[in-house]
Structure 1
Amino acid sequence: MTSTLLRLVATALIVGTVAACSTPPSPPSPSRPGVIAPPPATGTVVWPGDTGPLPPPMAQPKSRWIPVRWAELPGFSDDALHEAWNAWIKSCERPVPPFTALCGDVRRLSIATGEEQRAWLIARLQPYRIEATDGNADGLLTAYYEPMIDAARQPGNGYTVPVYRTPATLGSRKPWYTRQQIDTLPEAQAALAGRAIAWLRDPVESMVLHIQGSGRLRITEPDGSVSLVRVAYAGTNDQPYQSVGRWLLDQGLTRDATWPGIRAWLAANPQRTNELLWSNPRYVFFREEPLSGLDAEFGPRGAQGVPLTPGRSIAVDRQSIPYGTPVWLASSGPQVQLSRMVLAQDTGSAILGAVRADFFTGWGPEAGDIAGRLKQNLRLWALWPRANF
């Protein structure tokens, strides 16, 4: 991602304005993302082509979907849909039913105007408000990103923390060694001998990399040259994930469990670094991938198997929202105001529940600052193909 594009993503996240839902739709304004607003009163807004009878509700294993009019979606007239289209085209590289049949139109409309894309959405898709099985439509939005970390191909000169490939003996015991055992037991270290991709300076940066699931490394090679590579998720030790922030809160050690708060606590308590890190027994293994050309303009591949798009890809609970589903996301809070179309292209061990999403912000410090602080309310609408097409 270029620095200009990253600034645009960050600006779109931080600066939002209320999209008026009580007046007829205005022309698209890509720079005005909306915020959560109550659905308009019946009859106040009617989108052309959205006047027929509503279909029945749909059920997913962890959620129920309630059909609604397009007018319920806050900010629908304002979203820069061409940005979402880039993510949808990526989903069409690994299409899933019932969206496979739409991919020809999706590709064709990649150069269409926002008005044409909006009209096609209304004609072909039906929005469903996603609720928990008890009818609760409110949920939680968090965010994740790709950290950018300096590394070395060989240990030394302060580079002491390994980034490991999957060990050959991973399948020999389930679960595999815990994080603490990997750091301290000779047999675990012997199983990982020669498996380091690179070495980092900071164990906290290593933990961030493990929690995010992928990252970009600026690696100093043995000949002194520097290469940029991606380390992508390859597997885990099958131990349960435990939040280090939750551990701090439960211990009464901090009231700020964001990453800035965690780093501040560690700076004041460096002797307790291992105690904090070992509170999360899960350990992630990685694979190295080249990073150049178009690969550098997108994120890592998510669970759907397609590259993630900054600001337009989310991780979801697949028992609530199937991979490849276009989703309308609305969230407002102290960090960001969002109302936009995104694609469900990933999942995560902590992303559980009917109305739950992890928002991919991109890579680098700005994306990390947003991701480290974002934790606020959420509403979601699934955009599902109409039965009459």
Structure 2
Amino acid sequence: MNPSFLRWRRHLLWALPALVLLAGCNGGDTSKVPQTHALATYNSATWESLPSVADNDLLAGFGAWRSACTRLKADPIWGATCSAAANVPQTPTAIRSFLKEHLQVYGLRSGSGSSTGLITGYYEPVYPGSLTQTPSANVPVYGVPDDMIIVALDSLYPELKGKRLRGRLEGRVLKPYDDAATIETKGVKAPVLAWLTDPMDLQFLQIQGSGRIQLEDGRQLRIGYADQNGHPYRPIGRWLVEQGELKKEEVTMGTIAAWAKAHPTRIPELLGSNPSYVFFNRNPDSNEGPRGSLNVPLTSGYSVAVDRKVIPLGSLLWLSTTRPDGSSLVRPVAAQDTGGAITGEVRADLFWGTGEAAGQLAGDMKQQGQIWMLWPKGAALPKVPEVPDTP
């Protein structure tokens, strides 16, 4: 979907009073309490039940996961497993033996019992731009605003773990921060990291969560997700469907870009349909992949963004899905990123790499798939939040 990937969390700035009220409520008429169910379930499975993978995919997937161990050495769940993984020879036989010895297989299912879900793709785009504003490069890429206040709700209410509010102080009152349409119209008190030539490039950069800007002198500036304005992410493709401009099955980055090119005067309307706005920071130039939410370089084809309410960052997963052309794609992948659009039970966003070819794969990837979580033996399973039953 962190830095990248991913890509924005949903924060309801205007809902703070209600959240605080709910957090403090106890007792009352239990007959009116809505029925709930777990967002997802983990179902014990056997190694023999997993779809087989090619040796090269096993090596690459295990390598991608092991790279995340640099961030998990002190983790109470993964620390011991990561320490043991450091000494595993890079051979298919040794890796399979290690996995079976240390990890238990759990099939991921939705709260309704479905074992399949949406598997999409993302990538690191490269767009033309400049470090200074020019007649052609006049779309600002903003850093984090100086006047944006961040409130970590879980510092007061642990049950709101991961929830943050973002706003601006007006006197002694915290007001919601500007939405995307306001920022694009009036600007914002923030450093400008670079200038792009196309507002749609900035929108896609925000969706991907990281990217590179090709400068006039041949250098590339790498930027990544730093923060977000606190408004919920709403897909611009959905707006095009609601407007009758595209059919749901037609929505890809390519068709959205083509529509924008054919309707330049409606681009502000399109962009304004998504109130979320991402702010960036400069990342060190490197031959490695961009860094995800776990702050380790992503591995093309073997790193995924996930919903951390269901799959903890750092987890090793077994993914079974298809490529956009329908061919099979089965491999171990590492949960190393998150994203505002990556929410739900059986859900993953596969990182395809950098550049145009990766972007084509990512843009066309809207597949169904299954996910198994490989979890340290003897460790308590993640606690999944409860969600209201559908009437």
TM over 0.5: yes
1:216 to 206, 212, 237: 212
Q: Which runs of 5+ in 1 are unaligned?
A: 1-59
Match of 1:107 among 79, 86, 95: 86
Contact 2:210/2:290, CA 8 A, preserved across alignment: no
Once residues 336 and 374 of structure 2 are traced to their aligned partners in structure 1, the CA distance between those partners, rounded to angstroms, is 14
Contact 2:46–2:105 under 8 Å retained in 1: yes
Q: What residue number does 1:373 align with?
A: 364
Residue 85 of structure 1 corresponds to which residue in structure 2? 62
Q: Which AA in structure 1 matches 2:338?
A: T
Match of 1:153 in 2: 131
Question: Are 1:79 and 1:340, in contact at CA under 8 Å, matched by a contact in 2?
Answer: no
Q: d(CA) in 1 for partners of 2:54 and 2:369?
A: 19
Matching residue within 163, 166, 175 for 2:144:
166
Structure-2 separation of matches of 1:266 and 1:378: 31
CA distance in 1, matches of 2:296, 2:117: 26
SS in 2 for 1:183: helix
Q: Does 1:323 align with 2:313?
A: yes
- Root-mean-square deviation (CA, aligned residues, Å) is 1.8
Q: Could you tell me how far apart the structure 1 residues matched to 2:344 and 2:185 are?
A: 35
CA 1:334/1:346 → structure 2, altered by over 3 Å: closer, same or farther? Answer: closer
The DSSP-based 3-state class of the residue aligned with 1:274 is helix
Q: Please say if 1:196 is aligned against 2:192.
A: yes
Residue 378 of structure 2 aligns to a residue whose secondary structure is: coil
What letter is aligned with 2:296?
A: V
Query: Which of the numbers 256, 259, 267 marks the counterpart of 2:261?
Result: 267
Structure 1 residues 159 and 207, CA gap change in structure 2 (3 angstroms): same
- Corresponding residue for 1:15? none
Aligned partner of residue 256 in structure 2, secondary structure: helix
In structure 2, the partner of 1:234 is 226
Deviations 1:315-361 (CA, angstroms, capped at 9, x unpaired): 11111111111000000264353100001111111111110001111
**Could you say what secondary structure the match of 2:99 adopts?**
helix
2:131, 2:215 within 8 Å by CA — same for their partners in 1?
A: yes
Q: 1:116 aligns with which of 94, 99, 105?
A: 94
Residues 127-160 of structure 1, C-alpha deviations (whole Å, 9 max, x = no match): 1100112211110001111111121011114001
Q: CA deviation at 1:76?
A: 3.6
Asked if structure 2 preserves the Cα contact closer than 8 Å seen for 1:298 and 1:308, the reply is: yes
State how far apart, in whole Å, the 2-side matches of 1:257 and 1:318 are. 26
AA partner of residue 199 (structure 1): W
- Partner amino acid for 1:149? Y
TM-score by length of 2: 0.77
1:301-321 per-position Cα deviation (integer Å, ceiling 9, x unaligned)? x22222211111111111111
Structure 1 residues 77 and 345 mapped into 2: Cα distance closer, same or farther (>3 Å)? same
Report how far residue 124 of structure 1 moved: 1.5
CA distance in 2, matches of 1:359, 1:347: 11
Equivalent AA in structure 2 for residue 238 of structure 1: G
* Candidates 297, 314, 332, aligned match of 1:341: 332
Kept in 1, the 8 Å contact 2:85–2:98? The answer is: no
Q: CA deviation at 1:78?
A: 4.7
Q: Does 1:254 align with 2:233?
A: no
The residue identity in structure 2 corresponding to 1:98 is I
Q: Helix, strand or coil for the counterpart of 1:80?
A: helix
Q: Which moved more, 1:249-258 or 1:374-383?
A: 249-258
Residue 357 of structure 1: aligned partner: 348
Name the amino acid aligned to 2:76: P
Q: How does 1:270-281 map to 2 (within 5 A)?
A: 270-281=264-275
Q: How does 1:125-140 map to 2 (within 5 A)?
A: 125-140=103-118
Query: For residue 44 of structure 1, what is the aligned residue in structure 2?
Result: none
- 1:177 aligns with 178
**How much identity, in percent, do the aligned residues show?**
39
Corresponding position: 1:63 with 2:40? yes
After the TM superposition, which parts of structure 1 deviate over 4 Å for at least 4 consecutive aligned residues? none
Displacement of 1:118 in angstroms is 0.9
Instruction: Quote how far apart the aligned CAs of 1:291 are.
Output: 0.4
- The Cα of 1:274 is off from its aligned counterpart by 1.2
Q: Which runs of 5+ in 2 are unaligned?
A: 1-36, 150-167, 170-174, 380-391
